[in-house]
Amino acid sequence: MEPAIFLENAAVGAIWIMTISLVFPLLRLFKGPSLPDRVVALDQISVIIVSIIICDIIYSRNEIELDVVLIISFLLAISPMIIARFLYKQKSDND
Amino acid sequence: MIEYITGGLLIISALVVLIASLGIIRFKDLYARMHVVTKVSSFGLLLLLLALNLLTLKWWVLLESLIIFHILIFLSPISAHVTAKVNLWLDKNDLPADPEAEESSTENQAK
Amino acid sequence: MFWDLLKKTFSWQFIRRQYYLALLFFYFCYKIVESGWAVAWQILKGSRGENGGIFAYHTQVNKPWQLIILFNMLSMTPGSLSVDVDEEGQVIQVHLLNLDDRDDFMAVTQKIESLLIKAL
């Protein structure tokens, strides 16, 4: 097998494996008993999406998509803090 | 030659991400699940960024992937800490929740 | 004046601090790879996380900057996740994935702590 064709096949296979692994956090997102469980599942889903975008960069040789990865990883880091702030305000308003 | 190494790294990191999401569905406790999100996923993304840098030897790709890696290293522990602290605080204040959540909280207090 | 500034910045103390900072960074990178592999192996072995628990760790660092870096590094070392810290900054509540590995955790954390005190 030629190297370029092997790389394309490997990238497509990696995207397939990651797409299958997207199912399990989704199950946890539906099933999770409390809100922090769902936050953790959402974190895992965004990590998998970032991985899929990096595989697509390697498949299509289009490195400018790395900016998308940068923005999504910022959102990944900030979103649990926003949800934690929301939970705190909701509880203190109820009291 | 470098294409074969990159393809191998891609497959290995995809398997690591698969293992991480298996851990998300299998672990019982919230804290154990957070172990998976902060460590195993960071390891998989580190492998992917290494593969990208081996394939395209450009300086701005290296710079952007370093920024992404440092965001992951230094901000994912902070978000894990925030989630864990909110969970601890909700357990302490006895919020009405599902029976499964109450079971896990009593297990934590017993240990 | 310029020479004084140069002497002050490139004194032996400064170079030793940089050396320990670089050592800490490489040790940290090694720990990230090792911890990712260790937790993945725990999942593959079929552990369900019943064996974990929260335990209190007494620190010896006193500056707030050192405490922040120690608190973030504890989350990336294998099998430990920092949950809470008290007001004086002396006791960190750490969640361990496997409570039997307490001695390993203490050894790794004390090594990180000694490097941190020398570096900053």
Q: pLDDT by residue for chain A (95 residues), tens digit each?
A: 788 888 889 999 999 999 999 999 999 889 878 888 888 888 889 889 989 999 999 898 888 888 998 998 888 888 888 888 888 888 777 77
Task: Calculate the CA dihedral of residues C51, C53, C57, C63 and round it to 10 degrees.
Answer: 110
Which helix (H) or strand (E) segment is C37 a member of?
Answer: helix C12-44
Question: Given CA atoms C72, C73, C79, C85 in this order, what sign does their dihedral have?
Answer: negative
Q: B101: distance to nearest CA of chain C, Å? A: 15
b/e B3-23 (16+ beta carbons within 10 angstroms → b)? beebbebbeebbbbbbbbbbb
Taking the C-alpha atoms of residue C1 and residue B55, their distance in angstroms, rounded to an integer, is 48
Query: pLDDT-based confidence at B96, cuts 50/70/90?
Result: very low
Which residues lie closer than 8 Å to A67 by C-beta, 6 or more apart?
Answer: B64
Q: Read off the pLDDT of residues B4-57 as tens digits, 9 standing for 90 and up.
A: 899 999 999 999 999 988 888 888 888 888 888 888 888 888 889 999 998 888
Nearest chain B residue to C80 by CA: give it.
Answer: B35
Q: How many CB atoms lie within 10 A of CB C85?
A: 19
Query: pLDDT-based confidence at C24, cuts 50/70/90?
Result: confident
Question: Given CA atoms C87, C59, B74, C83 in this order, what sign does their dihedral have?
Answer: negative
Distances, alpha carbon C19 to alpha carbons B32, B52, B65, in Å = 35, 30, 25
Give helix B59-92 / helix B30-55 axis angle, nearest 10°: 180
CB B54 within 8 A of CB C75: no
Of C44, C48, C95, the CB nearest to B19: C44
pTM here is 0.82
Task: Calculate the CA dihedral of residues C112, C117, C118, C119 and round it to 10 degrees.
Answer: 80
Domain that holds residue A23: 3-94
Domain total in chain C = 1
A58/B6 CB distance under 8 A: yes
What would the 3-class secondary structure string for chain B be? Answer: CHHHHHHHHHHHHHHHHHHHHHHHHHCCCHHHHHHHHHHHHHHHHHHHHHHHHHHCCCHHHHHHHHHHHHHHHHHHHHHHHHHHHHHHHHHHCCCCCCHHHHHHHHHHHHC
Alpha-helix residue ranges (DSSP H) falling in chain A: 3-21, 23-31, 35-60, 66-94
Domain that holds residue C20: 2-119
Question: Does the pLDDT value for residue C40 go beyond 90?
Answer: no
Domain total in chain A = 1
Taking the C-alpha atoms of residue B76 and residue B43, their distance in angstroms, rounded to an integer, is 12
pLDDT reported for residue C85: 81
In the numeric block, which tokens belong to residue A16? Answer: 């397939």
Between residues B6 and B94, which one has the greater pLDDT? B6
Question: Does the pLDDT value for residue C105 go beyond 50?
Answer: yes
The predicted complex's ipTM stands at 0.86
Chains that touch C (3 or more CB pairs under 8 A): B
pLDDT reported for residue B31: 84
Domain boundaries, chain B: 2-110
Query: pLDDT-based confidence at B95, cuts 50/70/90?
Result: very low
What average pLDDT does chain C have? 82
Q: B108: distance to nearest CA of chain A, Å? A: 15
